[in-house]
Amino acid sequence: MNVRPFILTSFLLFFTGIIFSQNTYDIIFSGKDTNQKCKECLQAFSQKPKEVKFSIKRENNKLYFEVNDKNWFNLLFKNEGDGVAIEVVLKDRYSCDVKSIENTQLRGFLLKPVYSKELKNGLKATSENRFLSYVGELPSEFLNKELEYNILFLGNKNLCRYYVIYDLESYSRDLLDMGMFLDSLTYNSKQITSINKASYQTQNKTLKFIIPFKKNKSTYSQADIKPIYDSLRITDFNIKSIKINAYSSIEGIESRNIELQKLRANSIVAALQSFQKPTILTEVSSSENWVDFLNDIKLTKYRTLLLLNKKEVKEKIAGALSREMEPIFKNHRKAVVELELEKKDKYQVESANNLLVKFNDAVTSEIVSEANDIQNSIFERIKTKEVSPEFLDEMTIPKNDKFAEILNKNLAFKYMLDFRQGLIVYDELLELEKISPNSKSIKYNLTAIKINLWRYNAIKTDEESLKKEIYALKDYGISNSHIIRMLVNVYIVKAESLMRNKDYNSKDIAVEFVNNNFKKFTLSDYDYLSLAQFFSYYSNNKQAVKLLESKVSSIDVDENLLFYYLNLTLIDKELTQDFNYRIVMLNAFNMNKDRFCKLFNSVEKGGVTFQLLEDEYLRETYCESCTN
């Protein structure tokens, strides 16, 4: 398997060796000594910094080669026979009405090559780091079609590189979240978003659980839900929002199945709403549970159904076979319920200014428990942006041991809101540690922030003293799992440093430590993302894929993590041929049909590329899912 790691460009470029036989002007596709004649072209690509980006830009019917590095452009097109030819590919080629993709030597229409002299003479700066050079004109009959543009790079008129431009989202790499001690160890919920849509937000507590559906039961009452509600032990919380993905078994008519699941899901929402006055924000979706069905029949006598498409499966199981398979189907009718909770706030009706007065009064009266409750209420106002983070500076808190935990919470919360405050918060926590030297929450917060500051060389410390500091947390009651999580982060940072210094053997040892120890503590979805990117970055792509495989075939996987996995694997033809990959794609389709189908749009329409559909296995899934 050859999954390319994510790179810091807008486009992932993929080389395919293709030999053409149609009219190709003066391009040499398979001449003798091609490698020798392409030597300078190949060297230019091997020397290309990862920051260098290039693509094809369209303006009306004119096409331009766009690059952000003029020096590399000149290095690539140095000789008279060096140039580019643009291939225009139509999405019509991949129509689902076509039984199979014709095995032609060109995917599309080849424009006349443009060589070095013309490329250099036509190069124009459009901004400080953007350069365009004209490379051809679209035929008029293509203007209203969905198109993509492949680039043939030529060296001495020989085809040296053939590029399909994949617009894959890239994601920022991060350490595993160590959390901060407030009243207890608290984590920020980081959304898995691409670099172009990066966000960081603090959320309330979330719970995810599964409610099974009985075959003939269509509605759920408060009495049905109360045992579940009581088991969640959320009496100190209100349900802020609820997201339900309701699944039916696959037998029967799809529209009827989905309508029934919506009815069940909405009755669950109504039952939960009956336990509280504040209105619950609701999101409900429903679909057939193909994921569990395909997973569950793999090792049974029904496994031949795996070879059929959805329509064929439904026809096959109609009638007697459906009744025979009921022991399997009964486990597929369920709802995946995700609740976002917010702590009940007895100060909810108070204005922010009144809260500040009450807080300062409680501090003056040394009523620490009341000050703590009001402080939490102020935190909620900041989360909802009712007041700005600067509001924290207006809270008058004595610097003594009695209020050390209140001070610690303010500093930790400030850091969670803005990591750029790290060094300031760290220095203030060091002063607070002198006041309360045995506080485990202060000790933990100091160490967690120190690891992040060490990563960015913001403070001086050595690895061994940092590890001793981590191990010493055990004496203050910090669990072994949290200590190992911190050590894994130390080795993630260490691997980054060793990689920069080209000490590859030591880097491999650091990566192996991470691989051997991450299983010793619970991972959040964002942790899975961070680790997968870590392994992928260090060319351990199989480990990255293996890490996520166990999650992406489950219907309760985080949607963003699932689509990240697709982003990581879609261009790996070996992996997409695996039957289990179909389960992953159907899971993505069930979660978000529009998002899944958009992957196969043209780059200009926000897709990865419709040329993924050259892969018949991907095209089969696309056609059965996205064209109905």
Tens-place pLDDT, residues 47-65:
888 778 899 999 999 999 9
pLDDT in tens, 285-307: 999 999 999 999 999 999 999 98
Q: Which pLDDT score is estimated for 345?
A: 86
Give me the pLDDT at residue 192, please.
63
Chosen CATH of 203-343 out of 3.10.580.10, 3.40.50.2030, 3.30.1330.60, 3.20.20.140: 3.30.1330.60
β partners of residue 57: 64
Rounded to 10 deg, the angle between the 525-537 and 559-569 helix axes is 20
Domain ranges of the chain: 12-166, 203-343, 348-396, 553-628
Check residues 23 and 451 and name the one with the higher pLDDT. Answer: 451
The pLDDT score that the predictor gives to residue 201 is 38
Confidence class for position 16, pLDDT limits 50, 70, 90? very low
pLDDT at 193 over 80: no
Least-confidence region, from 20-24, 560-564, 569-573, 621-625: 20-24
Q: How confident is the model at residue 195 (pLDDT cuts 50, 70, 90)?
A: low
- Please, what sign has the CA dihedral across residues 247, 248, 254, 258? negative
Confidence of residue 196 (pLDDT cuts 50, 70, 90): low
Mean pLDDT value across residues 518-538: 89
**366 conformational bin, left if phi > 0, alpha if psi -120 to 50, beta if neither:** left
Following DSSP, what letter does each residue of 132-182 receive, concatenated?
Answer: EEEEEE--GGGTTS-EEEEEEEEETTEEEEEEEEE--------PPP--EES
Q: How far apart (Å, rounded) are the C-alpha atoms in residues 65 and 85?
A: 10
- Sheet containing 206-212, strands listed edge to edge, beginning at the edge strand earlier in sequence: 206-212, 334-343, 237-248, 281-288
Q: Is 60 left (phi over 0), alpha (psi -120 to 50) or beta?
A: left
pTM (2 d.p.):
0.79
Q: Sign of torsion, CA 554 560 562 563?
A: positive
Give the per-residue pLDDT at 6: 29
More confident residue, 30 or 29: 29
For the chain, give the mean pLDDT: 89
Residue 39 has pLDDT above 60, yes or no: yes
- 247-299 residue pLDDT tens: 999 998 888 888 999 999 999 999 999 999 889 999 999 999 999 999 999 99
